Amino acid sequence: MNHSLDGSTLSGLHRSSSRRWFMRDCGVGLGGIALNHLLAKSASASEIANPLAPKQSHFGGTAKRVIFLFMGGAPSHVDLFEDKPTLTRLDGTIPPPELLEGYRSAFIKPDNKLLGPKFKFQKFGDCGVDLAAELMPHLGSVADEITWVRSMQTDAFNHAPAQILMSTGSQQFGRPSLGAWTIYGLGSETENLPPFVVLSSGQKGPSGGSSNFGSGFLPSVCQGVPFNSSGDPVLYLSNPKGISKQSQRNAIDAINQLNQKRFDSVADPEIQTRISAFEMAYRMQDVAPEVTDISRESQETLDLYGARPGESSFANNCLLARRLVEKGVRFVELFHESWDQHGGLTKGLQKNCKDTDRACAALIRDLKMRGMLDDTLIVWGGEFGRTPMVQGGNDGRDHHPNAFTMWMAGGGVKSGYIHGATDDLGFNAVDKPVHVHDLNATILHLLGFDHTKLTFRSQGLDMRLTNVHGHVVRDLLA
């Protein structure tokens, strides 16, 4: 089964609408009547009454939903996830020249001195994964629930292009995001909330901006909807003073009638998307405030996450993500843009891990306790790694695309599994490398899709998330 829309139908809508006008209004006999009937049937076939209706995947996937914990700015794999005694021993020395052949960095000179890890490592779980014990004790306590991918690679070494590549499979703006492809392929499990919700914490939003969760050339109904973790969940969701529920309903009905009339004339699928958006926003006014009110959780659950109602934090967002997927939201993406430590690495990692470690572990525990971990895929990681070489005096690292660590849990991946390895300096992935395209292909596989067949025709091409690249990393599958 090929999940692609008929691009010729989409590109010919305006031409066909002009033909329908000519046949309807210019009176050309019985032949015209017959042709007009056929054109009307074609328009009816292209109409999407519910653009978010649930759809069948290519095969039975193990994951029904995704929570992507995007650590914007790029965590340092050599300080958090990989114990490299050789890097410790060579601290303060120049890296071998052969290692740097053809290497491009963002800011530093490639031959900057090596910098040993800032924190001590400890092995956690039966899998024996190395973690910075001081920084990630909570994550270490659930190490055997996680697949650790130590051999990630990417093509970009600056933030925006690398984030866009991770999110959309391309360094260029305007391509659909992983979340949008998920909604396009599977549809929605809820009529009262957006199927793709975005939450942000840390210093700012993602460097790549809204393109990280955009729909590109896919129907706009597939794009991510930013939520707030405090106050109104969505900007302008509440009615202004003087606007009653009934008057709002009357206004929406009138607007929808106009939109439907326009759709009947031009058959543009985006008009149906607009109608659907108005209806969902109306329903969200009743549902969203309740779902986003984490004060309804028990004190035990709040303590598990380290969440505090009324505040804006990564911990609150993790708990909110669990509440959203419980209500049928298909894809939740949390951006925590705080990991870009060109200087102040020690204090920066201490703060970032204090903000995120407990909540990440809590999300795994909470979903497992509720019987949801098996079909909810959690993905954690940034856009690239950090250099083994120093920047910022003696307390910083530059961007590094050659190797970094990500982890996944639930949704059909192995538990307590360590995949791949880097060299003795953490510079290159040398065993079982996993490119960003491979990661995306694997996530789509877990959702039940052949990544080469989940396509959409745009500008005459059958476009897909992984472009012409990527393969499923079957070693990661349970």
- Spatial neighbors of 150 by CB under 8 A, at least 6 apart, are 77, 81, 82, 403, 405, 418, 419, 420, 421, 422, 429
Whole-number pLDDT of residue 54: 93
Give the C-alpha distances (Å, rounded to integers) separating 150 from 119, 131, 147, 384.
18, 12, 10, 12
Question: What are the residue ranges spanned by the domains of the chain?
Answer: 7-46, 65-231+292-476
Whole-number pLDDT of residue 9: 40
How far is 4 from 1, CA to CA, in rounded Å? Answer: 9
Specify whether the CB–CB gap between 434 and 163 falls below 8 A.
Answer: no
- For residue 75, the Cα-to-chain-centroid distance in whole angstroms is 17
Q: Which helix (H) or strand (E) holds 169?
A: none
How far is 54 from 419, CA to CA, in rounded Å? Answer: 34
Whole-number pLDDT of residue 268: 80
Whole-number pLDDT of residue 280: 63
Whole-number pLDDT of residue 111: 85
Residue 477 has what DSSP assignment? Answer: B
Specify whether the CB–CB gap between 345 and 74 falls below 8 A.
Answer: no
Whole-number pLDDT of residue 204: 75
Residue 458 has what DSSP assignment? Answer: E
Report pTM: 0.84
Whole-number pLDDT of residue 41: 38
Measured in Å, how far apart are the chain's first and last C-alpha atoms?
Answer: 24
How far is 436 from 433, CA to CA, in rounded Å? Answer: 10
What CATH code would you report for 65-231+292-476? 3.40.720
Q: Which helix (H) or strand (E) holds 404?
A: strand 404-409
pLDDT tens sequence for the chain (478 residues): 455 544 444 444 444 445 444 444 444 444 444 434 433 334 343 444 677 899 999 999 999 999 999 999 999 999 999 999 999 999 999 999 999 988 988 999 888 999 999 999 999 999 999 999 999 999 999 999 999 999 999 999 999 999 999 999 999 999 999 999 999 999 999 988 999 999 999 887 888 999 999 999 999 999 999 997 666 666 555 666 666 666 667 777 787 788 888 878 887 877 776 766 666 665 666 667 888 899 999 999 999 999 999 888 999 999 999 999 999 999 999 999 999 999 999 999 999 999 999 999 999 999 999 999 999 999 999 999 999 999 988 999 999 999 999 999 999 999 999 999 999 999 999 999 999 999 999 999 999 999 999 999 999 999 999 999 999 999 999 9
Tokens of residue 100, six digits: 């740097």
Tokens of residue 230, six digits: 């405090």
How far is 165 from 317, CA to CA, in rounded Å? Answer: 24
Residue 229 has what DSSP assignment? Answer: S
User: Beta strands of 338-428 (E only): which ranges?
Assistant: 376-381, 385-386, 399-400, 404-409, 417-419, 421-422
